Amino acid sequence: MPFVLSTMVAQTVVFWILAVVMVAAAIGVVRAQNVVHAALYLVVVLAGAAAQYILLVAEFVAWVQVLIYIGAIVILFLFGIMLTRAPMKPDGPLDNNQRFAAGVVSLFLFGVLTALLIDAYGDAPQIHPKASMVLKGSPTAIASSMFRNYLVPFEVVSMLLLAALVGAVVIARRD
């Protein structure tokens, strides 16, 4: 039993370290003055999400997160930035006078989400993934679900990404 307790404590500590890093990088995405720097902060957030999947014993989903989101989506963003010749620095200030209203709305939303999560999971004990849960996250189960139940949404997303890439090329081409 002491080993299980120390494992739970270690997982909780790693979770909170990852969560703090992800929040800091998410703030960096929003606050970055340079578009490329914002995309690189996004890489840190997505890598943190992959690490969270590893904590949930979903290694396949973690590697898909790394390959698809970090390897493809961020590269697509960077190509879009380069092809459209977006300005690297903004021309004017990015600030406005709505900081107070944004802070109030943020605190209100934080309170609502906290109340909902405590109401839903407040008394729930911490559980570790069981063998049946690990099997649901296996590559075989995910592929079966994706190509049987979610084939159309999967294809729609791939077509959307292709259209975004073609759109970036068309915008970048100056005839």
User: How many residues would you count in the chain?
Assistant: 175
Residue listed under structure tokens 């943020």: 106
Residue 117 amino acid letter: L
CB 53 within 8 A of CB 65: yes
Q: For the chain, first and last CA: distance in Å? A: 70
> Has this prediction a pTM greater than 0.85?
no
Q: Which domains does the chain carry? A: 2-88+125-172 (1.20.120.1200)
pLDDT for the residue 17 = 95
Contacts of 171 (CB under 8 A, 6+ apart): 83, 84
* Parts of the chain with a pLDDT under 50: none
Tens digit of pLDDT for each residue in 5-47?
577 788 889 999 999 999 999 999 988 888 788 888 999 999 9
pLDDT for the residue 105 = 95
102: three-class secondary structure by DSSP = helix
Establish how many alpha carbons lie within 13 A of residue 125's alpha carbon, considering only the half-sphere containing its beta carbon: 4
Token pair of 11, please? 């997982």
Between vectors from CA 41 to CA 40 and to CA 46, what angle results, nearest 5°? 95
